Amino acid sequence: MIHIKRFVKQAITEDNGRGDLFYDIAPDGKFTAKIVSKSNGILAGVKYAETLAQTEKIKVDFLKKDGDKIQAGDILAKLEGKASKLLSSERTFLNMLQHASGIATMASKFVEKLYGFDVVLLDTRKTRPHLRDFEKYASRVGGAINHRLGLDDCLMLKDTHLRTIENLAEFVKIARKRISWVTKIEIECETFSQVETAMEAGADIIMCDNMTFQQIKEVVKFRDEKYPHILIEASGNINLDTIQEYAKTGVDAVSSGSIIHQATWLDFSMRVD
């Protein structure tokens, strides 16, 4: 909750600058307003908007909650407060809700494609600077599961890391002594040969990066026969058109950065009564 309050205060400061010019000449008295959706999708950002309202001493009553399906024309929230507060916060309210809801909506579309498969949807670290917690939260609201929140979550060895390592098995052995007992090691692989090497070295998770469906099926078969404890993740240019084919390969997880970086904001507006 602390990071949400900090995020909200920074957002307010960013928009107000040296001070909203309307603030000191705004009409006295309290006014009411509504936040209305112009889009269909999944609502997210409610906890951030509620924190904003609390910070700005605005009374807010959300008629929908995080994760609810919404349609164009739905009233999402009712607000009451001074004109100066309502209007200086308007754009921040809308930005948070529209941005988060766009991500949640995109994530939910991916999740729907995975219905019936024993496969989880993961997001990635392809987030906007300073917005990772916010965007990862929105992804969760949409039904995705967060991959690493940061470099301290899991030791993940991508192709760039692997170019610096001479002996992978020896490196993993040393890493096991340095990282915590519960920390996983994930290794990115682009070929079946790399998969064999990574599994033999002691990886907990294998990321199949940009492999064909057939290649991944072979990886899963090899895993099932020799290393059943290892998890398999498919990644690389996975979209709504291809995600089901990846799920059919037998992987444990599918990851896609487009859940976040390709999401389009939903369209909301604030209307003063």
Q: Is 73 helix (H, G, I), strand (E, B) or coil?
A: coil
217, 247 Cβ separation under 8 angstroms: no
Q: Which class does domain 112-261 fall in?
A: alpha beta
Mean pLDDT (the chain) is: 95
- Range name among 3-17, 38-52, 95-109 with the lowest pLDDT average: 3-17
- pLDDT band per the 50, 70, 90 thresholds, residue 220: very high
Average pLDDT over residues 259-265: 96
- Beta partners for 35? 77, 270
For residues 21-46, give the mean pLDDT. Answer: 90
Q: What is the pLDDT of residue 219?
A: 98
- What is the structure's pLDDT at 24? 78
- Choosing from 34, 126, 184, 217, the catalytic residue is 126
Residue labelled with tokens 């909301």: 268
pLDDT reading at 26 higher than 80: no
Q: Is 85 a catalytic residue?
A: no
- Predicted structure pTM score: 0.94
List b or e across 35-54, with b for residues whose CB sees 16 or more CB atoms inside 10 angstroms.
bbbebebbbbbbbbbbbbbe
Q: What is the pLDDT of residue 17?
A: 84
Cβ neighbours, 10 Å, residue 267: 15
Mean pLDDT, residues 100-128 taken together? 97
| Mean per-residue pLDDT, 43-57 | 96
Beta carbons of 55 and 1 less than 8 angstroms apart: no
- pLDDT confidence bin for 122, thresholds 50/70/90: very high
Band (pLDDT 50/70/90 cuts) for residue 19 is: confident
CA distances from 243 to 3, 119, 126, 217, 227 (A): 33, 10, 18, 14, 25
Using one digit for the tens of pLDDT, what is the confidence trace for 151-195? 999 999 999 999 999 999 999 999 999 999 999 999 999 999 999
The pLDDT assigned to 1 comes to: 67
Question: Residue 22: is its pLDDT beyond 90?
Answer: no
Pairing of strands 268-272, 30-37: antiparallel
Give domain 2-110+263-272's CATH architecture: Alpha-Beta Complex (3.90)
Question: What is the predicted pLDDT for the residue at 198?
Answer: 97
134: amino acid identity, one letter: F
φ/ψ of 186, rounded to 5, equals: -115, 135
Is it the case that residue 12 has pLDDT exceeding 80?
yes
What pLDDT score does 49 carry?
97
Domain ranges (residues) in the chain = 2-110+263-272, 112-261
The two structure tokens encoding residue 262: 């390709």
* Residue 121 confidence class, pLDDT cut points 50, 70, 90: very high
Q: For residues 54 and 52, what is the distance between their CA atoms, to the nearest angstrom? A: 5
